A and B are shown apart, each in its own frame.
Chain A
Amino acid sequence: MLKIENLQVEIDGQEIVKGLDLEVGKGEIHAIMGPNGSGKSTLANVLMGHPRYEVTGGSITFQGEDVFELEPDERAKLGMFLAFQYPSEVPGVSVANFLRTAVNSVREEELSAMEMYRLIQDKMKIMQMDPRFAERYLNEGFSGGEKKRNEILQMLMLEPTLAIMDETDSGLDIDALQVVAKGVNELRGSDFSAVIITHYQRILRYIEPDHVHVMLDGRLVTSGGKELALDLEDKGYEWVRQEFGASAELGKG
């Protein structure tokens, strides 16, 4: 359902992603692991259409559509979702108002006030959030953990077919991590795929991936099953650098 071919991305004239290939099938969970600065977050943002990044080569298709032809909102309507590493704070816009606008936009229909209220309350329960949370301004004054829960809450509301999770686990304590994982597992099924971008393998204990890829210097240098994550945990990224650094420098084809 998602196909990335030879993707190249620049930011402010500097090449960050240097020819990346990835294919994610229906119902698959992929983990992309890598050290800081390997281009993981750039990949996540480019998938969703962040205006700051310039795609200089390659292609991304999702559900058969060229995503570069689509605005971020159109990508969302097609089923893509990005859980942000650093979500924006939007003062004056309540979580409830934001969720209502987002859900109605994605579904292209107006839910009644009652249906919307129930939907929000149900999903907040799964995320173990206080109902009053809905009245707070979007991410304003939220703790790191609240922001991440709020991201997953949005995901549950929008029910995407592809979720990209950009370091959703970073900065979370074990309880919060479990809640976040529970939210993701809630959607898990044959119609839900995910790309979990992370520095640590910790989150993968709770959300079991089908495939693990290692990203280094703007490319995926090796791939495997979930055991690759454990290898990485044992050996560290220095091992990846030694093992694959040279080939990364050489580029692929």
Chain B
Amino acid sequence: MQQKEAPEVLKSKGISAETVKALSSFKGEPDWLTEKRLDAWRSFESLPMPTLRDEAWRYTDISDVSVDDFLPYAPSPDVSREADLPDAVQRLINEGEENSALLVQHNSETAYSRVDEELSRKGVVFTDLHTALAEHEDLVRDRLFGLVPGDYDKFAALSAAAFAGGSFLYVPRGVDVELPIQSYRWLDVVGSIMPRTLVVVEEGASVTYIDEYASVDDEDPAFSNGAVELYVGQGAHLRYVSLQNWERNMLHFNTIRSKTEKDATINSLVVSFGSQLSRTNVEAGLTAAGSDSEMLGLYFADQNQVLDHHTLQDHIAPNAHSDLVYKGALRDESLAVFSGLIRVEPGAQKTDAYQTNRNLILGTDDAFAVSLPRLEILADDVKCSHGSTTGQVDETDLFYLMSRGIPRREAEKLVVFGFFGEITSRIPLKGLKDKLDRAIEGKIGLGFEERVA
């Protein structure tokens, strides 16, 4: 497929209504979508940039962030074979999970995608959002922006107005997809990348889907802004993984929201390793009885990184269950923010909801972990609990391990891997686990006393 030349307005920094219109027209989108994009653009313009005075942004300073600093769109070479993808992307693919479908978004465009024939035969659709809009408009129309609407917040508004590329996954009723389906988002220019993910798992179907973010480092900052919408039908099962491993020049904003129907299950894992600053909202809407949401989070902040997670377990229907565990390690002068809310609506009796956040600080007094677990319970027959701890790696614990002949670095590693084990042991994906282990090992680097180079 030969890519068209992008309109001129997409080649200059910043975004305007003109940019949004040009992008929509460039993609040949239906009028309803152009209108929605423009609505979202108006929301973006009317919403103020969040500041430290906003409750939800009290610790994460984005006063330096301006969309005007970034190119809104960057083309990518279209390749027909996996072997023609950039070497670094091929390496990501090879080190990743064995998969049954794969999509690579390179900058603002989809560079490559592949779906196993067997999946296509079963009616599974996996493509970028623009192709989905052209070929499956009926499946996309009511759901796109349904969970992360264009007026949700400043960054969601920008996503709705200016998204490009993205992934659409549709698993029909009763279809069990055994091998994971994988999206890679790859940026190798100084610019922006604004993918969206839309996953629809129909009644009784099951699938594992992974979004992975990686890039080429640069002196100048680059910008990532995404939205993820996950629909899990009655009795269906979705395992969703977001693995954010950007280089350090990136600013990353993402909102992940899910909706589970009766007896549906979602397991989410949100991993944040990379970027200079990363803000991820993860919200599970338990909208029907018997639905179940496991929410796992793993982050490791070093140097002067800022990694911010805001979570919501939104219990609307009765008899639903949610269990959240977010664990993070911090070193050097990093900052990690966790703010989590369990909200139980008046009708949501027999809710079972748990929330845990734990932070481990490695050999420094300069890293800072903010942990804000909250409950808001409006029903009276519920089981809810939350807990939060932040602590240094104990020198006495290290001494204990070292006294058994284990060198300091190995002892530190044992403690950190042990700490994250509560999360990684709950993920049934070997390739992903190995990837996480390697990334954690890299972060531990030469030990707690040495800075990561």
Contact = CB atoms under 8 A, between A and B. Distances in A.
Q: Are these two chains actual partners, yes or no?
A: yes
A201 interface: no
Interface stretch (B215-223, B399-407, B430-438): B399-407
A90 B415 contact: yes
Given A90-B418, A92-B422, A93-B415, A98 B399 contact: no
Interface string A124-163: 0000000000000110000000000000001000100000
Nearest to B417: A92
Interface in A66-121: 71-73, 75-77, 81-82, 84, 87-93, 97-98, 101-102, 105-106
Nearest to B415: A90
A51 B394 CA distance: 11
Interface in B185-204: none
A105 B397 contact: no
Interface residues of A, number: 31
A84 B400 contact: yes
Interface string B58-90: 000000000000000000000000000000000
Contacts of B440: none
Contact of A90 (B403, B405, B414, B420): B414
A50 interface: yes
Interface residues of B, number: 25
B118 interface: no
B399 A50 contact: yes
A88 B400 contact: yes
B417 A73 contact: no
Contacts, number: 88
Most central of A73, A82, A93 by chain B CB within 10 Å: A73
Contact of A106 (B394, B400, B404): B404
Nearest to B411: A73
The secondary-structure label for the interface of chain A is: mixed
A87 to B, nearest CB: 6
B396 interface: yes
A89 B419 CA distance: 12
B5 interface: no
A72 B395 CA distance: 12
Interface in B408-449: 408, 410-411, 414-415, 417-422, 425
Contact of A51 (B395, B411, B417): B395
A101 B421 CA distance: 16
A200 B396 CA distance: 26
A102 B418 CA distance: 15
Contacts of B401: 88, 90, 98, 102
A73 B400 contact: no
Nearest to B420: A92
Given A50-B399, A98-B414, A92 B421 contact: yes
A17 to B, nearest CB: 18
Chain B CB within 10 A, most for which of A75, A102, A106: A102
Contacts of B406: 73, 101-102, 105
A158 B401 CA distance: 13
Closest 5 pairs between A and B when the two form their complex, measured CB to CB: A92-B418, A92-B421, A106-B405, A76-B405, A102-B404
Interface of B: 394-397, 399-408, 410-411, 414-415, 417-422, 425
Interface of A: 48-52, 71-73, 75-77, 81-82, 84, 87-93, 97-98, 101-102, 105-106, 137-138, 154, 158
30 contacts: A48-B399, A48-B403, A49-B402, A49-B403, A51-B395, A71-B402, A72-B403, A73-B404, A73-B405, A76-B402, A76-B403, A76-B404, A82-B403, A88-B396, A88-B400, A90-B400, A90-B418, A91-B422, A92-B418, A92-B420, A93-B415, A102-B401, A102-B405, A105-B404, A105-B406, A105-B407, A105-B410, A106-B404, A137-B418, A158-B405
Given A52-B395, A73-B405, A92-B425, 8 more contacts: A88-B396, A88-B397, A88-B401, A91-B418, A98-B414, A101-B406, A102-B405, A105-B410
